[in-house]
Structure formats: structure tokens, C-alpha cells
């Protein structure tokens, strides 16, 4: 959404993605930036599993519009430390593996019909902070919460649930 706002553009999303996003409670202004009309925008939201050269090529082949360049941003734990999709080495953005913009890998390839594709790996943590876990439990009110980290004993599980505010 930040990219669409910055570029003052609409973003194409699948029907499933649109239904999911409708649950977020975004403003009407933000929701109007989303479109199901694939030809009305150059911004396309794909699932993370589609953000590799082969699947981007397949996706592009389904479009009526032809592109010469594609830029993809793939949030992934694999990207951290200069590893790209599937753990393969790629050109790291900085000496420490992540530059100031959070870019940790860059992969480039010319795919079918001469389309130049650049995939930026954006490092992120797959783990939430404790305060994020507490907020999620408070917001979603799950029927059951099962600690999977540091829950080696029943006492540890009970302590974790108490800290999370789960009775």
C-alpha cells in the first residue's frame, strides 16, 4: 500500500487477496487504490511463492499488456545475509548483508521475450516480539493458544500463557 500511495497508483490484487484485505479495516481511500482490473495498473500484488523468475514469467504470459522490465520485492527470511529465494547466493546489497533500506539481496535475469526481471530480497523476521504476540492475542481472542517456543514443561507453558494474558 505504501508503494501505491507513494506513486499515486492503483494495485491489482487477486479476488482472494481482495477478500483478505477487506478484513483489515483499511480506509475507503486505501481500498480504492486496490483493483481487480489487471490492465488498469502496472502494480501487481503476487503471493510470495510467485516471486521467482519462472513464476513471474508464467504470470506475465497471462497478461495482455507486455512489459520490458519487472521489479519485484520479496519479503523473506531467506533474503537475510545475502541469500535469495531457495537459499541460493545472490549479490548482497551491503557489506553486512543488509543496506539501510533493508535490501539484503538482488537477483537479476532476463526471462522469456526479453523481459528484464529484478527481484529485491527484503529481510524480515518471521518472529513477533512479545508485545506483538500479546496484542495479537488481545485483538483476535483465539479459542486456544499453544506456546511452541520454550514450552518444554507444563509449568513453562502456564507461565507463558499467564504472561500473554491467556487464562
Q: Where are the alpha helices (DSSP H) in the chain?
A: 2-7, 15-22, 28-31, 53-61, 130-140, 154-164
Distance CA 128, CA 83 (A): 22
Query: How does pLDDT run across 15-72, given as a tens digit for each residue?
Result: 999 999 999 999 999 999 999 999 999 999 999 889 999 999 999 999 988 899 999 9
Q: What pLDDT digit, counting tens, does each position of 82-140 carry?
A: 444 443 444 444 434 545 456 777 899 999 879 999 998 876 666 777 787 888 888 88
Amino acid at each position: 500500500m505504501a508503494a501505491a500511495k507513494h506513486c499515486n497508483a492503483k494495485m491489482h490484487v487477486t479476488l482472494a487477496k481482495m477478500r483478505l484485505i477487506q478484513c483489515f479495516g483499511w480506509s475507503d481511500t486505501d481500498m480504492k487504490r486496490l483493483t481487480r482490473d489487471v490492465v488498469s495498473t502496472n502494480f501487481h500484488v503476487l503471493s510470495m511463492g510467485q516471486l521467482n523468475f519462472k513464476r513471474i514469467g508464467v504470470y506475465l504470459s497471462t497478461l495482455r499488456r507486455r512489459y520490458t522490465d519487472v521489479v519485484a520485492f520479496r519479503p523473506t527470511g531467506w533474503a537475510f545475509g545475502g541469500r535469495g529465494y531457495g537459499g541460493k547466493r545472490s549479490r548482497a546489497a551491503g557489506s553486512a548483508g543488509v543496506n539501510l533500506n533493508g535490501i539484503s539481496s538482488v537477483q537479476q535475469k532476463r526471462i522469456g521475450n526479453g523481459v528484464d526481471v529484478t527481484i529485491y530480497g527484503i529481510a524480515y523476521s518471521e518472529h513477533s516480539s512479545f508485545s506483538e504476540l500479546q496484542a495479537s492475542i488481545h485483538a483476535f481472542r483465539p479459542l486456544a493458544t499453544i506456546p511452541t517456543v520454550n514450552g518444554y514443561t507444563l509449568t513453562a507453558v502456564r507461565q507463558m500463557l499467564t504472561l500473554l494474558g491467556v487464562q
